[in-house]
Amino acid sequence: MTMSITLLLQANPSHLKWNQLPSLPRRTRPDRFTPIPDSKRRVSSVKCISSSRKPDNTFSLQSPWEVLASTVSNTLKALKKPAIAAVLVGLLLMYDPTCAFAASGGRMGGRSFSSSSSSSRSYSVPRTSSSGFSFSAPYYGPSPFGGVYVGPAVGVGVGAGSSFFLILVGFLAFVLVSGFLSDRSEGSVLTAADKTTVLKLQVGLLGMGRTLQRDLNRIAEVADTSTSEGLHYVLTETTLALLRHPDYCISAYSSVDIKRGIEDGEKRFNQLSIEERGKFDEETLVNVNNIKRQSTRSQRANGFSNEYIVITILAAAEGEHKLPSINGSGDLKEALQKLGSIPSSRLLAVEVLWTPQNENDTLSERELLEDYPLLRPL
């Protein structure tokens, strides 16, 4: 540490007086100095003031750990101030970690629940009348002309308290109960035929499969989703696109919901559709019931690669249909084949959703795990 010392000489004017010096003898050879006599001693006061100044670079002689500790200490002291703490809390509340990574979404398909319900076949159960029986015995009597006269049958009346009447009532009750149970069994068969199945297949892919994004965009642009043939085209082309790129598939999930009627099936289908659409930041490409919409989205240059893609297939069909539980790539292949083989005459609704729709958007691993937790690794 360097120290600068400043000397201030301050003369006391009260001690300074003019004294006339006496004449000195002149010498020819001044070999040495001769003291000058003075009648009165001059008194002067001297004050010394020392000031030390720290150098500008206070960390020149400190270690990096000391510098870090000092910085942290100063930061903590600054955070104790209410104004700085309030600003920091406000910045943390305004920060949204999902806004920078939210992906775009595509959606195509349609539904025809109302037309199918109006044209559904009505079944009438034929009623089987309980067969009764009659008992008659011919009357044999003597003929006045000789021989035997055979008369008309004579009915036998049975009283309510007789045992024969109780047996007859029990037999009739048995016939009625059998017919009622037969009607119930036939009704159950018809209800099974009227059931609606809602199927869901979700596939997670690597972001390198951008060919799939282009295929889905092309299907959405050319498909006529207002007809059953167009819905069948969307379903088959999507399943074929996934079957052609099995190496990109890394996870999948399937579910099957069997409902008793078309209305219940429609409710479940709409519920699944809303649930999946809520995971998108924006639907940038839509073709539903042949109503098309495409929005231009500013491309984000965030420096991340397109990590993952998720494709969701929803289908509702008449009757009972099944999908295998996904435990491997073989199960996924079987599920895709079963979806693609549903006849167009049985399809009630189809919807395909995928994210990200834009090739420059990103679906991070964190978003994949949070939004699609049911996906199972293949």
Token representation of residue 372: 């699609």
- Residue 7 binned pLDDT confidence (cut-offs 50, 70, 90): very low
For the chain, the C-alpha Rg in angstroms (whole number) is 52
% of residues, the chain, pLDDT over 90: 43
Classify strands 308-318 and 196-206 as parallel, antiparallel or unpaired: antiparallel
Token representation of residue 178: 């059998």
Higher pLDDT, 218 or 3: 218
Q: pLDDT tens digit string along 308-362?
A: 999 999 999 999 999 999 999 999 999 999 999 999 999 999 999 999 998 888 8
Q: Which of 238, 211, 243, 213 lies closest to 315, judged by CA?
A: 238
Q: Crossing angle for the helix pair 82-94 and 64-79, nearest 10 degrees?
A: 90
**For residues 93-107, average pLDDT:** 61
The mean predicted confidence, pLDDT, of the chain is 74
Are 348 and 235 in contact by the 8 Å Cβ rule? The answer is no
Give the DSSP H/E element, type plus range, for residue 137: strand 137-142
Highest mean pLDDT among 6-15, 85-94, 139-148: 85-94
* Alpha carbons 337 and 352: distance in angstroms, whole number: 16
pLDDT at residue 214 tops 50: yes
Q: Which residue has the tokens 């010392």?
A: 5
Q: Which of 349, 341, 354 lies closest to 227, judged by CA?
A: 349
Are 238 and 202 in contact by the 8 Å Cβ rule? The answer is no
Residue 148's CB is within 10 A of a number of other CB atoms, namely 8
Does the pTM exceed 0.85?
A: no
pLDDT of residue 176: 72
pLDDT at residue 141 tops 70: no
Torsions phi, psi for 5 (to 5 deg): -115, 130
Token representation of residue 369: 């795990």
pLDDT at residue 139 tops 70: no
**For residues 183-193, average pLDDT:** 49
pLDDT of residue 209: 77
Token representation of residue 51: 């000031």
Q: pLDDT tens digit string along 250-279?
A: 999 999 999 999 999 999 999 999 999 999
pLDDT of residue 360: 80
Of 56-60, 68-72, 164-168, 285-289, the range with the lowest mean pLDDT is: 56-60
Classify strands 291-294 and 282-288 as parallel, antiparallel or unpaired: antiparallel
- Alpha-helix residue ranges (DSSP H) falling in the chain: 64-79, 82-94, 113-118, 163-193, 210-222, 228-243, 262-277, 329-340, 365-371
Q: pLDDT tens digit string along 37-95?
A: 554 555 555 455 545 554 444 444 567 777 777 877 777 676 666 655 555 555 555 54
Residue 289's CB is within 10 A of a number of other CB atoms, namely 15
**SS3 assignment for 90-104:** HHHHHCCCCCCCCCE
* Alpha carbons 127 and 199: distance in angstroms, whole number: 37
Of 26-35, 216-225, 282-291, the range with the lowest mean pLDDT is: 26-35
**For residues 108-112, average pLDDT:** 93
Q: Which residue has the tokens 């159960």?
A: 125
pLDDT at residue 153 tops 50: no
Give the DSSP H/E element, type plus range, for residue 151: strand 148-154
Q: Which of 202, 192, 316, 190 lies closest to 265, judged by CA?
A: 316
Highest mean pLDDT among 38-47, 119-128, 234-243, 291-300: 234-243
**For residues 298-305, average pLDDT:** 50
